[in-house]
Structure formats: C-alpha cells, structure tokens
A and B are shown apart, each in its own frame.
Chain A
C-alpha cells in the first residue's frame, strides 16, 4: 500500500455538499465517572464532509464525548449510529476499524519510540523471516519519510525519537498519523493548542483539503471558535455535559454567535432555545 497522496486544495469543489448524508449520530449520551457526571444528555450529528466544532469550557464534557466516539470510554447510556447502523466501540481499536481516527489532546505519541514507529503503532507492517513475523522497519521507515515529505512536515529524521520533537512537530506527526489511516471521520482534540500561527495555518489547511477532496468528516474540539470559524460548517456548544447550542456558520455570523453565547450560557434553557433558532441548516 502506497501512502495516500495529499490532496491539493481545489477551490472549485464546494466546501459542503448540501445533500450530504448524515453519517454519524450520537444520541442521548450519558457518562459518569464515580460521582462526577461528565455528560448529561449529549447528542450530535455529523454529515459526510462536514467540519463540526465542539466548543465549551474546561469540564464541559468535550473530551469525554469524543473519547466515547473513539472507543476509549464506554457510555453509560445512549447510542452511536454510524452509517445508519448502531455501533458499540469496546476499544479504540474497534473505533479505528470503523474508520474513526482520533488525535487526542495529549497526542498519544510514544516518546521513547521513533517517529516512524509512532506513525505505524497499532498497524505495523511485518515480514516473515525464518518463519517469524517480524517488524518490517525498513518499509515503515521509507513510507513514513515519503508521507511526511509530501505533507511538507519538517522533522529532523523519522528515526529520531518523538521526545526530541517540538510541540508543533509532534502535533504534525500525530495528525499525519491519523490521516494516513484514510479515516471517514477524523477527530481532533485541541489541534491548535500547541501550535504557532504558521503551523496552525498548516493544520487548518490540511483540514480544508481533507474534507473537500476526500469528503472526510471532521470534528474539531476547541476552546475558542474564533480560531476555527472559517473552516467549520457548524459549531456545537457544550455546557455542563450537554449540547446547549447547535449553530450553522453559514447562517450565523461570528458577532451573532458571540451575542448568543454571552446571553445564553447563563441558563441552559435559554441557550438551548437560542440554539434552536440559530441552527438547523436548510
């Protein structure tokens, strides 16, 4: 398998096909950790090729929600519907097998392993030597070099261990690893947190390309939607474990959103009502 080529941005392809089908629904997800209720009743919808931003304060439940989607946590109640079928992810492996790739906030990179081992962790290439199923390090190294080169990610060498990389380089490696798997849904938890303006632009450019060219659906978790307003189709606000606002960026301006959030987040009910008015794209 050769590495998938990185698509070049084609402005002629519309950002979001208005008839794109809903490929993922998470319905009425509830999750508690001991006495702490992380998610009260959270529901989200995602269409093919759509970029959805999950926004909210610390502890709003954003990370818990996507860790349920990625199979890291199991929900106490609620259902996940993928391509019309109810699914249950017992482990991160199961979610990956369904085409859901997640870049966690901590990046899930292994500091003591080389970059190319990190790229292929959990989906290693093997070759048989004397009947033994050994790692094909040469193949993984070459593929990683080729792939990272096409993404114009500058790193010292794919053989150096990850703990020698800067924050931005790590972020790029983690994103590259997830894209390599050709996911149908890509989840990025705080993708811009560790990045400078230029590196951040690079990641956002990647996101644009992915969804336009390959119709990958993307969920972005961010603190502040200002950073991602340009690339998102919809923004969902989480507050105290539930979605309080579902707004389309094509129908709502940033100023309106600021207004809604400021006036709404004081009380759940008001915010939810405001969300009804501002959401549901045609």
Chain B
C-alpha cells in the first residue's frame, strides 16, 4: 500500500533556517584526476587558454623573424585578417551556439560590397547608401538560410552550401565577373576601412596609425556588442537555450525557430559588413572576394576560440582571439620563410586539436552530471 504521503515528519518549510538549504552541498563531483582538473581549468578559462596560445605564437614568430613580427605595418596585415575572420567568426559562434552553421558567408562577404560598387558606378549612389543596401541584401540571404533550415528542416550545412553557390553565381555573373573600382568618399572610407597610415610620415600614436587597424577595431566593437547580446540579453539567453535543449526550450516557450532565423540574419549582415570593410581598404569590389576558404577560416577561428558545434555553449571573445590565431598562423609562417602552403598544415592540426579539446571538455561536464 502506498505510504501516508503528507509530509508530517518534514519540518514546515518556514522553520528551515534561511541559508541552510543553499549551503548544503549535494551531488556535485569535483574533478579529481590531474587530467580532469586540467580540463576543468580549460573550461573555466576558455578565453584565457586560447589567449595564451596566441601570445605563445606571437613570441615564437617574433623570435623566428628576428624581431620583425611586432611592427606596425606587419601587424596591420595580421590585424586586417583578424578583423575579417573575426567579424564572421563571431557570427558563426552565435550560430554554432544554436547548433547551426553558415557556409554562405563566403558569398555574402562579396555580395554586399559588390552591390555597393554596382550601385555606385551605375547610378552614382553614395557608398554609404550602397553599403546599407548591400548589408540588407545579406541579411535577406540570412532570412532565406534560416527559413529553409527551420521550416523545411534542411540541415543548415546543406542549406548554406546551396546559398553559397547560388549567391556566388549571381554576384559573379551580374557584371561579367569584373572587379569594380569604388570611389573614395570621405569620411565614409576613412571611417570604415581605408588605411591612411604612412610609416614615414606618421607616428605610431597618430590618428592615421589607428586607421591601419580599422578592420580589427570594428571587429572589437562588434565582439563587445555581441558579448553583451549573448550574455546579458534575453535574446542571448534564448540563443543558448535553443542550442542546448531545443525541445525543452520550445516547451518552456522559447521561440527557437525565430531565434535561429535571427542568428542567420546576424551572420549574413556581419559577413556583408566585413566585406564592405575589406573592399574599402582597396577601393575595389572583387566578385570572388569571399571565394576560397574564408568561410572555413572563420569557422576555424570560432572552433579554435572554444566553441564546439554541439550547441549550447560558445564564446564570442574566444572567436576574436581565435581569428587572431588563424591570421597569425597564416601570415607568420610566411614571414619566417615557410612555404605559404605549410600554414595550412598547422591550421589543420590546430583545428583538430581545438575541436578534440572542446568535445572532451563538454564530455567532462556531462560526466560530472551524476
């Protein structure tokens, strides 16, 4: 027979001393082996550990290149790449937290500036307006990616491969795959990408030297903003919930489909923005600017930064540091005299190592569950 279930023997809730319940520690296994401890530390300080790797790489290349790595001009190149990868890696991080991915950023990266250039040369549309139109188009591509993924249940890996080729095809064919020279319209160019730095004329602390770092400064601004969005807003909370437990999140009333679509829109918009900055640096819109491995390099940056593809966790600050690591590897190895192709070996090994670590750290946390 069932026992008498009224909790007569339990003290009434009100007599329990405040604070007692909270101080009772129950059922949490602390890491005990050295490996567990190490993984635990890596998890607690994900950004710090990848930052340590970044510093180690800088030291290595600085020594390897006999002191030529830390140099305003060379760092300008590294930071330009960091900014480009970083802006896209941040967007990928947000998507990867929802357990989705976007490969079409390689095309939207070219779509936005090409739209801007085309509007400028055909109708004399100001660059600022053209840039807005271009980014809006990229956001629209994000909507398409999102809707196809959540409504038609196509895995985003496939959806975005489709839009990658689709958008790339349009951009390349629309103007006979000609690069478009864009005019210089100050202060727009100065503000969003043009480097005015002249090492002979300008001091390292001048305004012009700041402009050498425009892409990475914008990436820092975006990372700061996205960090607030991810950690301090309802949207960020629901983004994590969507990736961590899609069904549970839906049951509790999180609009998981919308959250995913919004994140695809952010990815499209940020990739377009990165493309605009890239184009303004050279005043030339290349229809194939994002071809090659740009999308994969951005994903590599996110992964190296500590975001796994499993959903539910990730760090946008890590993504920016990851972007710096990728940019440093790409440029540093060339600088110390390695063949350009060798950097891919290191990059590949780095991605694998980071991914194994990410998955292991996640597994450790699950193991500590019970």
Name A's B-contacting residues (CB within 8 A).
Answer: 5-6, 8-9, 70, 72, 91-93, 96, 102, 104, 106-113, 117, 121-122, 124, 126, 132-135, 137, 145, 148-158, 160-161, 163-167, 169, 197, 201-202, 204-205, 208, 226-231, 254
User: Most chain-A Cβ atoms within 10 A of its Cβ — which of B13, B25, B243, B370?
Assistant: B13
Pairs A–B under 8 Å by Cβ, sample size 23: A8-B12, A8-B14, A9-B6, A9-B7, A108-B245, A110-B312, A112-B243, A113-B241, A121-B249, A132-B228, A134-B228, A149-B18, A153-B21, A160-B28, A163-B365, A165-B27, A165-B369, A169-B26, A201-B3, A202-B10, A208-B7, A226-B2, A230-B2
Q: Which residues of B contact A155 (CB under 8 A)?
A: 21-22, 26
* Residue contact A122 to B254, C-beta cutoff 8 Å: yes
Name B's A-contacting residues (CB within 8 A).
Answer: 1-7, 10, 12-14, 16, 18-22, 24-28, 228, 232-234, 237-238, 240-241, 243-245, 247-255, 312-313, 365-366, 368-370
Complex Cα distance, B228 from A104, in Å, reads: 31
* Residue contact B245 to A152, C-beta cutoff 8 Å: no
Complex Cα distance, B14 from A72, in Å, reads: 36
Q: Which residues of A contact B241 (CB under 8 A)?
A: 110, 112-113, 121
Q: Which residues of A contact B254 (CB under 8 A)?
A: 121-122
Given A9-B6, A148-B22, A153-B21, A104-B14 contact (CB < 8 Å): no
B312 CB → nearest A CB, Å: 4
* Residue contact B369 to A110, C-beta cutoff 8 Å: no
The one of B228, B240, B243, B370 in contact with A166, judged by C-beta atoms closer than 8 angstroms, is: B370
Q: Which residues of B contact A112 (CB under 8 A)?
A: 240-241, 243-245, 312-313
Given A113-B240, A165-B27, A145-B22 contact (CB < 8 Å): yes
The one of B4, B21, B251 in contact with A152, judged by C-beta atoms closer than 8 angstroms, is: B21
The one of B6, B22, B250 in contact with A205, judged by C-beta atoms closer than 8 angstroms, is: B6
A65 CB → nearest B CB, Å: 15
The one of A91, A126, A164, A208 in contact with B234, judged by C-beta atoms closer than 8 angstroms, is: A126
Q: Which residues of A contact B28 (CB under 8 A)?
A: 156, 160, 164
Q: Which residues of B contact A106 (CB under 8 A)?
A: 247-248, 251
Closest B residue by C-beta to A121: B252
* Residue contact B233 to A134, C-beta cutoff 8 Å: yes
Complex Cα distance, B4 from A109, in Å, reads: 30
